[in-house]
Amino acid sequence: MNLTGGGLATRRMEWPAAGLATHLQVVERNLARESATDLLAAVESGSCSRAVLPWVPLLAGGDEAAVAERWKRAAEAEPDARRRADYAGLARVFASAAGRKDFWKTQLEGWNVTESSVVNEWIAEGEAKGRAAGLAAGLAEGRVEGRVEGRVTALLDILTDRFDPLPADVVAAVRAATDETRLRAWTTAAAKAATLDDFRRAAGV
């Protein structure tokens, strides 16, 4: 299965002199060529699980407003709040891979992703990157401040991934932060915020 673009894994190799040939036939599905409206119709009819909703941004027509509206109605029918949040979080991840990050970020503004396991993974990843970068900086420079620098790097990575391009004042405020506890709280806020303004309010930036 190819999430973006198209694949061609089928291969045929021949050795005429020896009268030999090998053929590898691969069954492929290229999501970029599949119809978003057809998939949503299957979800709406109940013939397909709502678990496939995060793939919609990858499909043909996945950048259309009407498709996004149908997606939201289908996702809102999910009774489990955490799953609804996961659908939104994963849809944004796949939208970024398909070059549709800005479109889906706008469409999903206001969705509550606080309890999303995807968001929790972002937070954990940010913490891990912060620890790794801090350790590297500390070993290289022999300074305790390395941990803080690592958290600054991790926080800027998360903010850039979610809200690129970042305003200069936000970047400056993050780089100027020296309190590790505050940076940890800001990392959590960055992962949970639906918009950059939400992060600003939570962080007081």
Residues 6+ apart with CB under 8 A from 127: 154, 184, 187
Q: Residue 144 above 80 pLDDT?
A: no
22: which strand partners?
A: 13
The residue type found at 129 is K
**Model confidence pLDDT, tens digit, residues 64-104:** 999 999 999 999 898 888 788 888 878 888 888 888 888 98
For residue 171, how many C-alpha atoms fall within 13 Å in the half-sphere facing its CB? Answer: 8
The average pLDDT across 31-40 equals: 90
C-beta neighbour count of 131 within 10 angstroms: 14
Q: At 12, which helix (H) or strand (E)?
A: strand 11-15
Q: What is the per-residue pLDDT across 41-54, written as a single tens digit (0 to 9) for each?
A: 999 999 989 989 99
Distances (CA, A) of 160 to 36, 163, 168, 190: 28, 5, 12, 10
Give 6's pLDDT tier (boundaries 50, 70, 90).
Answer: low
